Structure 1
Amino acid sequence: MWSLTFPVLVLLSGFGLLRDAQAAPMPQELICVPDVVDRTYDLIAITDMDKDAGGSPSDWTWRAVKRKGQLTISGDGEKIAVNWDPSADQNVTTHLNVKGRAMELSDLALFNGHLISPDDKTGMIYQIEGQKAIPWVFLNSGPGNTTNGMKAEWMALKDGQLYVGGHGTEYRAKDGSIVSTDSMWIKIVSADGAVQHKDWTKNYEKIRDAAGFPAPGYLTHEAVQWSKVHHRWFFIPRRHSKKIYDEEADERRGSNKIISADENFDDFYTIDIGALKDRKRGFSAFAFIPGTCDELALGIKSVEFKGTTESYITAFDLMGNIYLEDQRLQGNLKFEGLYIVKK
């Protein structure tokens, strides 16, 4: 075990994380001590099955599938393995729905002692207790004065509060005109469920400009985390394009970008995660691996292509080096939430 004081030129050299890449900027006087022993963590993943989340019409039940797995990581961080147990899959159910749609769960986080997940169709944040989805907080779309539920796509914990965001891009008509900017707003939720509505339009615009995709190009965000170690935001878009949104073309616009921003969204850097091989796959969730000083992460990639769905797990570092190549999760389920159970 050793301590690391930032900034340093080569971080976590025992992990071999940087591999001749320039280190990302780090805050001053921050000490992080990585774990250097082989260890295993439990994993939980949850689905957004869109229209397939509907159960029997007779009992008005909607479901998401919760799957358990294990992550094994070596002490030097060089060897990472993930195994899932589909035989133990559980249906997490609710009767709450909007126009016959529900339980399209898009992320997972542990907040205030509860495992929570947002439904991007109803706008409800659920507490996941076994196979029960217990309604906790309702989020409405945009500035908070709308009657529609928020299409929540990501959650991040920062300073004891829960940040919840959507795709972070304007919704446009086929002629390119802007139909809605609701997804440019985020919500900040306190531990007791109080909700603030924040306009992140300028932040989202800065992110896509920094990555090289100015409007009418776009990024769609489903995988976002705040790192208290680096004191920075990390965005891994599901899609990127320099062209205007097109529903069919969007299925082949998967991204491999990491865009990092400081707390004030004034300083940015962008890194590619490996090579962009299959653009049907795009990141729908990621989580930092405990004990790695927020340098190693697991990510879920989702595929929605011509009516079919697939999911993959991968591991990488913040310099874009890959430690686990895309590994498919069994079945044709679209997983969009990932939680690593800390010991």
Structure 2
Amino acid sequence: MWCLSFLLAAILRLAEIPQEARASPLPVGECTVDASDRTLNIIAITDMDKESRTSPEGYTWRALTRKGQLFVKDELAKLEVTWDLSSDQNLTTHLNMKGRAMEMSDLVKFNGHLLSPDDKTGMIFETEDKKAIPWLFLNSGPGNTESGMKAEWMTLKDDQLYVGGHGMAYRNKKGEIFSTDAMWIKIISHDGVVKSVDWTDVYDEIAQAAGATSPGYLTHEAVQWSEIHKRWFFLPRKYSTEIYNDELDEIRGTNLLITADESMEDIQVVKIGELTHPDRGYSAFDFVPGTCDSVILALKSMEHDGSTESYITALDTNGNVLLEDQPLDGDLKFEGLYFL
């Protein structure tokens, strides 16, 4: 009974979003949508948590990549995704942090390489064939800490690589804040120069617009900058108006798309369909090429009662669902997505 009550509460709570924050359709600059039937290649990468270790006593950790195709049909009215299981490929490394590694959180091409961040070691890897080549280490918070950054999302803006984390303050069991490291982002040049930027105000503005003010929270794993819209796009992983709770957090997924201009003066919140599965949360997304950043392909992850699942879905920037949640085979947790 308690579980049913939690699920019902998770579904109902999103009705609390302030009315003034709910969005109208986004303007699009000079851009022409490609409405032709076409096929686009995609790739996804896993975060298998402790299962990334290939054996209990071994010193090799892996992430799995999987390729697939997105079929665009009927002038963007119909989208289909298929996955090629024969393309599954392990990327391995021996580099680890306290026995954890290769828990990859996103994918983006930068400097001619397909990059992926490990949220346990703080290392950004170049993914080349079956190799995971260390490129750049990011430490947590303001850049003077001893631990690696728990990187959860990456995007390109102004010809630089932006890397961010969950965007929430971490609290102890008494509700006291003990770390704000996840409120900092990194801005990286092509030469690998890293700038640490305090994004507390940005994350707080986004959370406030969604009605998740402290001690409530949003957590972020799916963030992109749109050069076409000149706006930030957030698909929050979790949403809560209450203080963090390990058990309840598993069913605090969202059906929100939040967008904001660069100054954070215009923030809009869109509800995406109905929240029928609050145990699923957005873990990555990318804009579908040729859609003027008006169509989104996204991954959702589920971690509940010790089991994990992943789903692929599609939506437009007005909150219309174009592809219902479609499971990926293998009970693996995929958290990075990229159009090849």
With normalisation by structure 1, the TM-score equals 0.91
| Residue 175 (structure 1) shift | 1.2
| Residue 24 (structure 1) shift | 3.0
Secondary structure of 1:162's counterpart equals strand
Secondary structure of 1:243's counterpart equals coil
Secondary structure of 1:191's counterpart equals coil
Where does residue 18 of structure 1 map in the other structure?
none
Where does residue 26 of structure 1 map in the other structure?
27
Where does residue 39 of structure 1 map in the other structure?
38
| Residue 157 (structure 1) shift | 0.6
| 1:241-300 Cα deviation digits (max 9, x unpaired) | 001000111000001111111011111000011100010000000110000000001000
Q: How much is the aligned-residue C-alpha RMSD, in angstroms?
A: 1.2
Secondary structure of 2:30's counterpart equals strand
Task: Report matched runs for 1:52-67 at 5 Å.
Answer: 52-67=51-66
5+ unaligned residues in a row in structure 2: which ranges? 1-21
- CA distance, structure 2, for counterparts of residue 158 and residue 211 of structure 1: 24
| Residue 25 (structure 1) shift | 4.1
Contact preservation (8 Å) 1:26, 1:231: no
| 1:42-70 Cα deviation digits (max 9, x unpaired) | 11000000000001345410000100100
Contact preservation (8 Å) 2:217, 2:243: yes
| 1:214-260 Cα deviation digits (max 9, x unpaired) | 00000000000000010000011000000100011100000111111
- CA distance, structure 1, for counterparts of residue 149 and residue 269 of structure 2: 28
Which AA in structure 1 matches 2:143?
A: G
- CA distance, structure 2, for counterparts of residue 139 and residue 305 of structure 1: 29
Secondary structure of 1:175's counterpart equals coil
| 1:4-56 Cα deviation digits (max 9, x unpaired) | xxxxxxxxxxxxxxxxx9753437xx310111211111110000000000013
Where does residue 96 of structure 2 map in the other structure?
97
Secondary structure of 1:206's counterpart equals helix
- CA distance, structure 1, for counterparts of residue 112 and residue 281 of structure 2: 30
Where does residue 75 of structure 2 map in the other structure?
76
5+ unaligned residues in a row in structure 1: which ranges? 1-20
Tell me which protein shows more helix as a share of its residues. 2
Contact preservation (8 Å) 2:92, 2:102: yes
Which AA in structure 1 matches 2:231?
A: R
| Residue 87 (structure 1) shift | 2.6
- CA distance, structure 2, for counterparts of residue 88 and residue 198 of structure 1: 38
Where does residue 16 of structure 1 map in the other structure?
none
Identical aligned residues as a percent = 61
Q: 1:216 to 1:55 in 2, by over 3 A?
A: same
Where does residue 205 of structure 1 map in the other structure?
204
Contact preservation (8 Å) 1:45, 1:338: yes
Which AA in structure 2 matches 1:183?
A: A
- CA distance, structure 1, for counterparts of residue 73 and residue 41 of structure 2: 15
| 1:70-95 Cα deviation digits (max 9, x unpaired) | 00102510010000012321111000
- CA distance, structure 1, for counterparts of residue 58 and residue 98 of structure 2: 15
- CA distance, structure 1, for counterparts of residue 242 and residue 47 of structure 2: 27
Which AA in structure 2 matches 1:259?
A: I
